[in-house]
Amino acid sequence: MWLLLPTNLTRQEWILLAILFMTEFARGAFFLSFLPIYAVKHLGLSITAAGFAVSAHYFTETASKTAAGWHFDRTGRPVLLIGLITGLASLMAMKLWPLPVILVGASALFGLGMSPVWLGVMSEVAPVEMPARTSRIGLVFAAWLAGAGTGLVAVNFILHRGFELAFSTIIILWLVSVVLTLFILPSRARREKQTRQGFFLSLARLATNPAVTRILIPGMFLQTLCAGLLLPVLPLFAQNQLGLSYNQYGLLLLAGGGTAVLGLLPMGMVLGRLALNSLLAAGFGLSALCLGLLAASHGPQSAFPLAILLGFSYAIILPAWNTLLARVIPPERQATGWGVFATVEGLGAAIGPALGSLMARYGGITAPIMLATLLLITVAIFYTFYPMEKFLVK
């Protein structure tokens, strides 16, 4: 089973998973739900300011991901503590000085602090030398998805009690993750001596791999660009066009996210029975269909069924995509390898919010959703017809 829980994790490995869950919870709550509404409704700023802040966060995280993985391979867990303290300082700066330039600058610094977290947890909990690491990889992705999804949903149930309470809750959760990190330090036992030559050698190997250049890069960039396009506009779209309250929007996200989590297990079980390109094409195609129908909706009646279908489409895509990545990831220097992929994948997430906010300002709030729909159709067509298997290692 793809999500079968391993029972041999150490206490420190469970702590690492808890840190990943809480940091993704706080990050998801802040950037995916809280910030767009906070900037527009509470601070009186334009949606463009929120969009550029979100883009600055993901751009900085993307730009520093590969270097963060390389430093983690060299130094180990202390890199996590430095990153989390940086993230805490960023959140405090945005709360104390909520000016547009501070929001953008601190969001960028937040991205720098967030960059080593996922990479470090993956390389510690599911190291490359472990023979049966598939279930552990699934557990890392489950902690990541559950954290981001829960934060995205839960903050909407706090927002109706005030922006200050929601912001303080996010900061407290991040502070807890900083404290937890102190219980897993130090750890440098498994770190090998890395050199700058080794860093560039890893990049060169990936750059010459046809599976990376012909299969991964198109899907990586476009799928995260689609998600980025939606980030600054989806909460406002739910309120203005669908007529949803904060609580109803939270329930809408819960319906989609819950379906995604529940669908991961059955989809993981059928993963080995179906071709990867078929699953990816079906998942991206269903996502495009649901987004297109959602953009044409004007009430909550059709929004909830479409959210459930969107969640199911993500349950189809995620295990197939992770399997595709695992078949290409280099066996040595895992954090560096994951960092390279996360950097490429994050380019779309970095560009998307700024582009989406500009499109919403000049073309209407549904314009980014329609562009995301067209891009997802393109990705679905690509994976339908491109001969992937001949470039992948069995």
Which residue shows structure tokens 């883009």? 55
Backbone angles phi, psi at 185, to 5 degrees: -110, 150
Closest CA to 343 of 354, 332, 335: 335
Measured CA to CA, the distance from residue 347 to residue 212 in angstroms comes to 15
Closest CA to 319 of 266, 372, 392: 266
- Looking at residue 365, its pLDDT comes to 87
Query: CA torsion angle for 171, 27, 62, 93 (degrees, to 10)?
Result: -30
pTM, rounded to two decimals: 0.69
- Looking at residue 2, its pLDDT comes to 40
- Looking at residue 107, its pLDDT comes to 92
* 3-class SS of residue 31: helix
Q: Which segments in the chain show pLDDT lower than 50?
A: 1-4, 188-197, 394
Closest CA to 226 of 87, 328, 375, 341: 375
- Looking at residue 22, its pLDDT comes to 93
Percent of the chain as helix, strand, coil, to the nearest 5: 80, 0, 20
Which residue shows structure tokens 């995280």? 61
* Polymer length in residues for the chain: 394
Which residue shows structure tokens 């009690």? 161
- Looking at residue 4, its pLDDT comes to 47
Please list, in sequence order, all residues whose beta carbon lies within 8 angstroms of the beta carbon of residue 139, skipping any fewer than 6 positions away. Answer: 3, 5, 6, 9, 17, 125, 126
Degrees to nearest 5, angle at CA 304 with 230 and 368: 20
| Cβ atoms of 283 and 313 closer than 8 Å | yes
